[in-house]
Amino acid sequence: MSAPSMMSAITPSILAAPALLGAAWMLLLLAYQDLSSRRLPNTWVGIYAALFLLYAWASGMGWQQLGGHVITAMAAMALLVVLFILRAMGGGDVKLWTALMLWAGPSGAGMAVLIASFCGLLLGLLGWAIQRLLRARLGQVRPGPVRSGHAKPSWRGIRVLRMLTAARGVPYGVGLALAGLHNLLSASL
């Protein structure tokens, strides 16, 4: 197959699946990053959002539908900026929520909010419970020597538990990533 005919074989629809897979990969990376360091890198969130534009083009999304997705994202951002100003939400969470709403659009926004909020609630409760467990077992939440009289648990197990403690804040990026994965699954069906 010659180069010109090979290029004509690459149609936009061929790029829809890689855009979905790339977005899923970025969500998994963002979830892990938020869980381990409570940071959501701007570049990664930007790539996730940009992959929506590639997907929209590759799937043949019309201007009206694309506009609905953009308006949903902008409305979400306006509300979330207020929460950021009130210090109820971190900046990375605001950006990831906005990108999530871009992917969700008006038809998927309600389910995305429900999934992300429910996961955030579960993570918050889990973090609170783990914090209580660590205090009861170790007398501490942060790294340091283990009190005598208690069996010394493995460092790896403690490190994983400490990643989830409420003392570090709730990793909402994990819930947002799960909601985003649901959106991607819905988009691929």
Task: Quick: pLDDT tens for 70-85.
Answer: 999 999 999 999 999 9
DSSP of 109-152, one letter per residue?
Answer: HHHHHHHHHHHHHHHHHHHHHHHHHHHHHHS-SSSSPPPTTS--
pLDDT at 63 over 60: yes
pLDDT at residue 162, rounded to an integer = 79
The DSSP symbol for 167 reads G
Q: Which amino acid is residue 37, in one-letter code? A: S
Q: Which two tokens stand for residue 143?
A: 């790294």
Evaluate whether 30 touches 173 at the Cβ level (below 8 Å).
Answer: yes
Tell me, what's the pLDDT at 144? Answer: 46
pTM for the model stands at 0.82
Residue labelled with tokens 């990375």: 92
Residue 48 has pLDDT above 80, yes or no: yes
Higher-confidence residue of 99 and 158: namely 99
Rounded average pLDDT over 83-104:
95
Q: How would you class 140 by CB atoms within 10 Å of its CB: exposed for 0-12, middle for 13-18, buried for 19 or more?
A: middle
